[in-house]
Amino acid sequence: MIATLTLNPAVDKTIRVPRLAIGAIQRPRESHLDPGGKGINVSRMADRLGWPTIAFGILAGQVGEIIAQTLDREGVQSYFVQVPGQTRLNVTLFDESTGRGTGFYDPGPPVGASSLRRLEKDVAPWLKVCPVVALAGSLPPDAEPTTYARYIRRARAAGARTILDTSGEPLRLGVESRPYLIKPNVAELEGLLERRLPDLAAIVEGAREIAATGVEIVVVSMGARGAVCVEGESVWLAIPPRVERRTTIGSGDSMVAGLAVAMARGESVVEGLRLGTAAGAATAMVPGTELGSAATVLRLLPEVRIERLEQVQPPSTDRSVSRASRDADRQRAGRADG
């Protein structure tokens, strides 16, 4: 079974308009309302791929009920701690004339230390029976940035392998606790390393630097360009099939689900990369914030190309993240995260 943890879930509302006119009444062409939150999406896609999963998290109010009811309707097992307030409602506005979207993301409600401790206690027994645990998404505004790092250490002690998909300070501290796999996008990896990664060689070098700190597998998602995967001295490039991409929301979560399912099956990272890339492409084809179907994933799977990048050389100097840069980034992330 795959366990997922979503401490700051959301309901995602996507609105598509032919042309955005600021200050005018808009007539949406499409409007979608879907449960969101990275870990929740991972569980939903893992379930569609036929693997048992349980979604853990924190919900609040009527907005949170939308998530719980959707998971019940889809048959996804879940356990949530209820807190006062309202779960986030995130709105993404797509302007079809430009092909660009603008997101409005709520910070989420404060959840309280007692609720976080209760959830951590309730999750603990499952770490012994779930070989793969995905920790994903942002943290509640009052949660300690070390929260994911604690889960990683507890999971490893229980024999579970962790996947971490977050950003900012929680990502940096999580990496220090050595999760089994991380899946940043390029911007998140740039933030972790505090420098630009302008091309494929730079992305590979950056992923190798993080792998050298003790992370077994680093997968860097690059949108329509695919993903880079580093495991030890091996580097692969996953090239997705050509599809009509209608959104990018949820594609990364679907990739994590594919990686998690392959890990739970005992398959190689290459097979996980193939399944995750197909799942991400399937979700990109669906409008709004809905996820791709299992049938579409299976149809796209043979079209995914995996290339080994033997020509990309490892970095010639030790450019691991210094303590000083970590401390500086922590201060910035503390001001900006949420």
Alpha-carbon span 10 to 25, nearest angstrom: 26
Q: Is 318 a catalytic residue?
A: no
53-60 and 77-83: which strand pairing?
parallel
Average pLDDT for residues 194-202, to the nearest whole number?
96
Task: Give the largest Cα separation in the chain, rounded.
Answer: 57
Q: pLDDT tens digits for 37-96?
A: 899 999 999 999 999 999 999 999 999 999 999 999 999 999 999 999 999 999 988 888
Structure pTM? 0.87
Q: pLDDT tens digits for 113-133?
A: 999 999 999 999 999 999 999
Residue 338 has pLDDT above 70, yes or no: no
DSSP conformation letters of 160-221? -EEEEE--HHHHHHHHHT--SEE--BHHHHHHHHTS---SHHHHHHHHHHHHTTT-SEEEEE
**pLDDT given at position 175:** 98
Average pLDDT for residues 288-294, to the nearest whole number?
83
Query: What are the respective helix, strand and coil percentages of the chain, to the nearest 5?
Result: 40, 25, 35
Average pLDDT for residues 174-190, to the nearest whole number?
97
Under 8 Å between Cβ of 178 and 156: yes
**pLDDT given at position 332:** 37
In terms of pLDDT, which residue wins out, 318 or 192? 192
88-95 and 10-17: which strand pairing?
parallel
Residues 6+ apart with CB under 8 A from 143: 7, 8, 111, 116
Under 8 Å between Cβ of 257 and 236: no
Provide the residue type at 272 as one letter.
Answer: G
Residue 282 has pLDDT above 70, yes or no: yes
Alpha-carbon Rg for the chain in angstroms: 19
Residue 220 has pLDDT above 90, yes or no: yes
Residue 325 has pLDDT above 60, yes or no: no
Residue 334 has pLDDT above 70, yes or no: no
Catalytic residue among 12, 34, 47, 253: 253
With b for 16 or more beta-carbon neighbours within 10 A and e for fewer, the 81-100 pattern comes to bebeebbbbbebbbbeeeee
**pLDDT given at position 174:** 98
227-231 and 234-239: which strand pairing?
antiparallel
Alpha-carbon span 214 to 180, nearest angstrom: 8
Q: Is the dihedral angle over the CA atoms 111, 114, 118, 124 positive or is it negative? A: positive
Under 8 Å between Cβ of 55 and 76: yes
Provide the residue type at 132 as one letter.
Answer: V
Model confidence band, residue 311 (pLDDT cutoffs 50, 70, 90): low
Mean of all residue pLDDT scores within the chain: 89
Domains of the chain: 2-336 (3.40.1190.20)
Model confidence band, residue 287 (pLDDT cutoffs 50, 70, 90): confident
In terms of pLDDT, which residue wins out, 242 or 327? 242
Model confidence band, residue 330 (pLDDT cutoffs 50, 70, 90): very low
With b for 16 or more beta-carbon neighbours within 10 A and e for fewer, the 134-143 pattern comes to bbbbbbbeeb
**pLDDT given at position 320:** 41
At residue 27, φ and ψ (nearest 5 deg) are -115, 95
Average pLDDT for residues 175-186, to the nearest whole number?
97
Average pLDDT for residues 134-156, to the nearest whole number?
97
Alpha-carbon span 191 to 197, nearest angstrom: 10
Residue 153, both tokens: 């250490």
Question: Which strand (E) or helix (H) includes residue 71?
Answer: helix 61-74
**pLDDT given at position 288:** 64
**pLDDT given at position 161:** 98
